[in-house]
């Protein structure tokens, strides 16, 4: 695959590129923020979509047995997890699914734990339903490594008010792939205190060590019975705009309750395009994905090496998954407001503000590296020039 091929995404109502003036307040910031890729989807996906368009009829569609089989075969091959077809529940996106799950499985006033800094919608899906948000901040070492704070987590669980934890696995934005030992310890605490685990595993396929990711429900029978696993092909194959997610729920009672709330809001219908693209991606997209991961890893190594040689104020720790780089800018000694202004106004870069992921993210930025190598080099050039001028001031 030629991932160096630059595709012009402007004038396509592209959130990432066309919304730069609105989001950043300047027209010329290089967009490396919202989490989609600048690459074309796998050829097999594009071909499947062409075939579906040629049919010419786009009526109501349902997930077929073949669709579900493709998901099951992918989970088994890629993650060593055997699932049953009836466990798969369709939803038009992981974030909508999280919102529905909070609504269905908790009551107003119940507590829900999130592990910060974390993907911003984790905050809103809890608070917008009138549930109490409990932060379990990740521990950050001097070397830049993140780990779970199990002592603080058990302290929260022991109050008896926590009904759910929303797990980000692999973690966005810090890029951790939780080890089997970490997940086992989390599962043990959730069993002890009867806490439901909602595991957002949308980045599970974007791990750099094959087989490193363990689906939470694959840990044990108890873990399977007390968990809801949120998956989607959207990040993996760059088809986020097709609004297709698959929520895997082994527990029949939980599954029934989730189906009930899907029906209540009448949002359980898949689009013909989403169905065609998803099945093609899971059946034929693996070679493309393997090449993609090598290319993205190269982008990340380029940034890390460049920062080490030219930008000592920055700390870059290589992630274990995702195409998102979590960069520590605290060495520049700026407030977060100053840092945001500096990157946009002086460096002309559009990155995700770390503060959006929680107070633990202040002083950090998230950089999307699912882009051409030339884009990364341009970003580094802009950043180096701006930092050089800052040093002189």
Take residue 336 and report the two structure tokens written for it. 């977060």
Which stretches of the chain are assigned E, i.e. beta strand? 30-31, 88-91, 111-114, 132-135, 139-140, 146-147, 162-168, 196-200, 227-231, 245-248, 315-316, 324-328, 349-350, 352-353, 364-368
Shared domain check, 320 and 347? yes
pLDDT in tens, 333-378: 999 999 999 999 999 999 999 999 999 999 999 999 999 999 999 9
Considering the domain boundaries, does residue 387 fall inside one?
yes
Q: How confident is the model at residue 200 (pLDDT cuts 50, 70, 90)?
A: very high
pLDDT at 210: 87
Q: How confident is the model at residue 268 (pLDDT cuts 50, 70, 90)?
A: confident
Shared domain check, 153 and 27? no
Mean pLDDT of the chain: 97
Considering the domain boundaries, does residue 47 fall inside one?
no
Listed residues 229, 254, 284: the one ending a domain: 284
Task: Please report, rounded to a whole number, the percentage of residues in the chain having pLDDT higher than 70.
Answer: 100
pTM over 0.85: yes
Bridge partner list, 168: 200
Q: How confident is the model at residue 222 (pLDDT cuts 50, 70, 90)?
A: very high
Provide the number of structural domains found in the chain: 2
Angle subtended by helix axes 373-392 and 286-310, to nearest 10: 20
- What span, in angstroms and rounded, lies between the C-alpha atoms of 112 and 156? 10
pLDDT at 393: 85
Listed residues 264, 284, 304: the one ending a domain: 284
Angstrom CA distances, 273 to 35, 61, 71, 244, 281, stand at 21, 9, 16, 9, 12
Shared domain check, 175 and 85? yes
Shared domain check, 66 and 171? yes
What is the number of other CB atoms lying within 10 angstroms of the CB of residue 388?
A: 11
pLDDT in tens, 242-262: 999 999 999 999 999 999 999
Shared domain check, 211 and 196? yes
Q: Which domain holds residue 366?
A: 15-42+287-392
Q: What is the CATH number of the domain that holds 350?
A: 3.90.1150.10
- Over range 326-338, report the average pLDDT: 97
Shared domain check, 135 and 278? yes
Taking alpha carbons only, the member of 284, 323, 344, 307 closest to residue 38 is 323
Shared domain check, 129 and 220? yes
Considering the domain boundaries, does residue 7 fall inside one?
no
Cα 207–209–211 angle (5° rounding)? 85
Listed residues 236, 264, 284: the one ending a domain: 284
Considering the domain boundaries, does residue 176 fall inside one?
yes
Considering the domain boundaries, does residue 259 fall inside one?
yes
């Amino acid at each position: 695959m030629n991932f160096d091929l630059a595709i012009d995404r402007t004038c396509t109502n592209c959130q990432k590129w066309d919304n730069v003036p609105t989001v950043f307040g300047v027209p010329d910031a290089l967009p490396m923020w919202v989490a989609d890729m600048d690459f074309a989807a796998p050829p097999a996906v594009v071909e499947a979509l062409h075939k579906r368009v040629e049919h010419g009829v786009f009526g109501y569609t349902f997930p077929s047995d073949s669709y579900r089989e493709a998901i099951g075969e992918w989970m088994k091959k890629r993650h060593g997890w055997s699932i049953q077809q009836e466990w798969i529940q369709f939803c038009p996106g992981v974030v909508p699914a999280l919102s529905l799950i909070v609504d269905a499985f908790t009551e107003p006033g119940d507590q829900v734990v999130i592990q910060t800094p974390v993907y911003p919608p984790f905050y809103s899906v809890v608070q917008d339903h009138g549930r109490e948000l409990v932060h379990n901040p990740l521990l950050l070492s001097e070397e830049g490594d993140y780990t779970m704070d199990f002592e603080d987590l058990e302290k929260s669980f022991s109050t008896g008010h926590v009904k759910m934890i929303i797990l980000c696995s692999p973690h966005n934005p810090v890029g951790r792939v939780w080890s089997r030992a970490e997940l086992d310890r989390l599962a043990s605490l959730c069993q002890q205190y009867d806490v439901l685990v909602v595991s957002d595993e949308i980045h599970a396929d974007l791990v750099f060590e094959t087989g490193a990711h363990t689906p939470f429900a694959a840990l044990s029978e108890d873990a399977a019975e007390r968990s809801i696993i949120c998956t989607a092909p959207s990040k993996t194959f760059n088809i986020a705009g097709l609004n297709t997610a698959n929520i895997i729920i082994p527990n029949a009672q939980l599954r029934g309750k989730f189906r009930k709330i899907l029906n209540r809001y009448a949002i359980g219908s898949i689009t013909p395009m989403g169905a065609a693209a998803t099945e093609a991606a899971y059946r034929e997209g693996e070679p493309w994905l393997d090449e993609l991961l090598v290319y993205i890893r190269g982008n990340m190594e380029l940034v890390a090496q460049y920062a080490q040689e030219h930008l000592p104020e920055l700390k870059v720790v290589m992630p274990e998954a995702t195409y998102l780089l979590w960069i520590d800018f605290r060495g520049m000694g700026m407030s977060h407001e100053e840092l945001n202004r500096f990157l946009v106004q002086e460096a002309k870069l559009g990155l995700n503000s770390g503060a959006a992921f929680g107070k633990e993210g202040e002083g950090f930025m998230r950089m999307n590296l699912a882009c051409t190598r030339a884009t990364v080099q341009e970003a580094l050039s802009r950043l180096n020039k701006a930092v050089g001028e800052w040093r002189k001031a």
